[in-house]
A and B are shown apart, each in its own frame.
Chain A
Amino acid sequence: MNDATTERRERITIEPAALQQLIDALQADGYRVLGPVVGNGAIVYDDLASTDQLPAGKTDQQLPGSYRLVPDESGAWFGYTVAPQSWKRHCYPPVTRLWRAERKGTGFALVAETDASPPMAFIGVRACDIAAMQLQDRVLLQGPHADPVYRHRRQRAFVVAVNCGEAGGTCFCASMGTGPQVTSGFDIALTEVADDGRHYFVAETGSDRGAAVLGGVTSRPATVEDIGTADAIVARAATHMGRAVTTDGLQERLARNVEHPRWDRVAQRCLTCANCTMVCPTCFCTTVDDQTDLSGAHASRLRTWDSCFNLDFSYIHGGSVRPSPYARYRQWLTHKFSTWVDQFGTFGCVGCGRCITWCPVGIDVTEEVRAFSGESPAEPVVASV
């Protein structure tokens, strides 16, 4: 895994062309390189072979229930916020075959699946997404039963982080303490400076293998001015967050308000469509699907992403434990901002804002959470819109 150091390693400056060298070097090392490209009307993470594919001249405008690609004149290659889907789908795939059960005589034999995916290099990982990966590490790797597929892919995943130069309309990483500055969990971290005719990246390494790759591209030592500019960009992003959450006392407040009129209000809007859980970089719920072919001789067990918003998520004989949207929305929100703390010691939300952007009815978790900060349970505080 990437080793985190708290002191800043020596920073260097690289020209845009060096980024192509970086991509080439990673490909030569056998990595499948993934990064931001324009696709389906959005900036998405997909296979990246050339810096020409990066979304220069475009940025994303994210608001509750709204995502638009709009022109960006800064010339930045990473001038957007976050892609609709996180990097989660690569280390924790939406569909994985766990094993096959082949009929054998009167019984059967089990054939384990081995993960044959190539190691992956992620280019353009935001601080919130790194924080999300670290949260998922805790869930999926700690304890006696680590997930083998996640572990295999995560250990080999090469992370090229890119600090945010802009905060998005739905971002609140500063409130959650996860960004916008990356501090750990990366092999290489870049800050892009693109303005006034300048275009360069201030880079630092976060691991030995990061240093090895970065050492092979054209660079020069970063000047004081380079570093100052880069740091100022990120600091500015921190003060322009689209949203905010007060985390003090939040865990207890939600735990105390299991019954609250606010849940009724949000339940009236929530479609239980599960979009939020699909785009969330920390959601980890899965289900299994047993399939056989027509002959019945070949059976396989697939693991697929699931969502606590699905009606039969909590089904036990006789019915679902959480049939109402009220209970399902409450389950998701209290898990992210309350019971996750009990379970894993931190909040389960990294403030990436995806759930706010991709909710078809624009439910804003920061607003929902704020509604519980009245003094007594009977007085919800409604945020002004």
Chain B
Amino acid sequence: MHTLEPILAEHPFLKGLRQEHLELLVGCASNVRFEAGAFVFRQGQEANHFYILRDGKVAVELFAPQRGAVAIDTYGEGDVLGWSWLIPPYHWRFDARAIEPTRAISLDARCMRTKCENDHDLGYELMKRFARIIEQRLDATRWQLLDVYGVRS
């Protein structure tokens, strides 16, 4: 879809991608919308997409017995949601639920994996970008775990 290409090209996650790679991605892309409260994906489901968020807010949740759904992270405009599609067995390990009406571009996972297998340059470019995201998330999670605002007694 030609209208998605400029949107993808501008997205921080895909910045710097070569034109031909961008066109490959567009081939897997579609526009999606989630109402507030709707699940984007559920724990255990096959990870068939990843999402580039355009606006709104999505909470990544873990359902814990006796605690219910606990939101451990939220993502919004400019963020990328989901990397379980990259790593076998390609199953979501968390829930993701839109807290506000959210627009995103969803990229079909199988389509993406096939294209990456066929074009390793594209695969490498995406891996580099995901590695950076995972690094940032891990850093953030680590100091989130430290409970820095808590009082030590």
> What residues of chain A have their CB less than 8 Å away from a CB belonging to chain B?
317-319
A319 closest partner in B (C-beta): B152
Say if the beta carbon of B151 comes within 8 Å of chain A: yes
A320 to chain B, nearest CB (A): 12
- A to B contact number (C-beta, < 8 Å): 5
Q: B137-153 vs A: 1/0 string, CB under 8 Å?
A: 00000000000000110
Q: B119-153 vs A: 1/0 string, CB under 8 Å?
A: 00000000000000000000000000000000110
Q: Is the interface of A mostly helix, strand, loop or mixed?
A: loop
> What residues of chain B have their CB less than 8 Å away from a CB belonging to chain A?
151-152
A105 to chain B, nearest CB (A): 34
Q: Which residues of B contact A318 (CB under 8 A)?
A: 151-152
Q: How far is the CA of A318 from the CA of B152 in the complex (A)?
A: 5
Q: How far is the CA of A317 from the CA of B152 in the complex (A)?
A: 7
Q: How far is the CA of A318 from the CA of B146 in the complex (A)?
A: 13
B148 to chain A, nearest CB (A): 10
Q: Which residues of A contact B151 (CB under 8 A)?
A: 317-318
Q: Which residues of A contact B152 (CB under 8 A)?
A: 317-319
Q: Which residues of B contact A317 (CB under 8 A)?
A: 151-152
B150 closest partner in A (C-beta): A318
B55 to chain A, nearest CB (A): 40
5 CB contacts below 8 A, A to B, read A317-B151, A317-B152, A318-B151, A318-B152, A319-B152
B149 to chain A, nearest CB (A): 11
B153 closest partner in A (C-beta): A318
Q: How far is the CA of A318 from the CA of B151 in the complex (A)?
A: 7
Q: Which residues of B contact A319 (CB under 8 A)?
A: 152
List of 5 A-B pairs having minimum Cβ-Cβ separation, nearest first? A318-B152, A319-B152, A317-B151, A317-B152, A318-B151
B152 to chain A, nearest CB (A): 4
Q: How far is the CA of A317 from the CA of B153 in the complex (A)?
A: 8
